[in-house]
Amino acid sequence: MHDSIVDGPGLRTVIFFAGCPHACPGCHNPESWSQANGRGYSVDELITIIDDYPMNNITFSGGEPMIQAKDILPLATSLKLSGKTIWCYTGYTYEWLVDYGSREQRDLLKLVDVLVDGPFIERLKDSTLLFRGSSNQRLLTLENGEIGKVNRYAFT
Ligand code: SF4
C-alpha cells in the first residue's frame, strides 16, 4: 500500500507480511494471521513496486514481519542503501527479540529505524496514540539494533 500516513511519519509505502503467531484479541487485521492469505514476491518485484513511489519511506507491517526476517533482510539492506527509513511493526517486544530472537531477527533490528513493538492489548486500546493501537506498544528509535539514546518519538 502506498502513501500511508498512519504507519509512521510522512508518506510511507507499507508492506504487509502474511502470517502472525500472536493472535491478539481485537486484532485489526485477523486475515493476516494465515500465510496462506498472502502471496510471494521476490525482492526485485518489491523494489519495483516501491520505486513507483520514490519519495515514500517504508513500513513493514503484518501480520508479523519478524517471522520472515531471513527473507526480509535482503530487501531491508537494499532499502537502507537507497536511503529509505524503515519502520517495523512487531508483536514481539524488543527485549524478547534481543534475548530470544534468531540471528536474522537481530540482524533485521540493525536495519530498522523505528520498531513499534509489543502485541495489541485490547484493554489498553487508545485511539489517541499516534501510529499504534494500545498503550503498551512503544515507538523505539533504534541505532544499529540498539535503543537510541534519543527517542525521537517518545512524545507521541
Ligand atoms: S501482532 Fe498485530 S497482526 Fe498479529 S495478532 Fe497482534 S495485532 Fe494482529
Confidence band for 148, pLDDT divided at 50, 70 and 90: confident
The 8 Å CB, 24+ separation contacts for 76-80 are 76/108, 76/111, 76/112, 77/111, 78/43, 78/47, 79/50, 79/111, 80/111
pLDDT at position 3: 86
**Whole-Å CA distances, 150 to 131, 134, 137, 142, 154:** 18, 22, 18, 9, 9
From ligand 1's centre to the CA of 29, what distance in Å? 7
From ligand 1's centre to the CA of 16, what distance in Å? 11
From ligand 1's centre to the CA of 93, what distance in Å? 12
Q: Residues enclosing ligand 1, CB less than 6 A?
A: 20, 22-24, 27, 29, 32, 62-64, 91, 119-120
Q: Give the other-Cβ count within 10 Å of 105's Cβ.
A: 22
Q: Which residue has the cell 495489541?
A: 120
Q: What is the pLDDT of residues 64-81, one digit of tens each?
A: 999 999 999 999 999 999
Whether 135 and 126 have beta carbons less than 8 Å apart is answered as yes
pLDDT at position 153: 63
Name the 3-class secondary structure at 89.
strand
Residues belonging to the chain: 156
Q: What is the pLDDT of residues 4-43, one digit of tens each?
A: 898 889 999 999 999 999 999 999 889 999 999 999 999 9
Which residue is closest in CA terms to ligand 1's atom 6? 24
Which ligand 1 atom lies nearest to the CA of residue 26? 7
Which residue is closest in CA terms to ligand 1's atom 1? 91
Which residue is closest in CA terms to ligand 1's atom 3? 63
Q: Give the other-Cβ count within 10 Å of 130's Cβ.
A: 11
From ligand 1's centre to the CA of 62, what distance in Å? 7
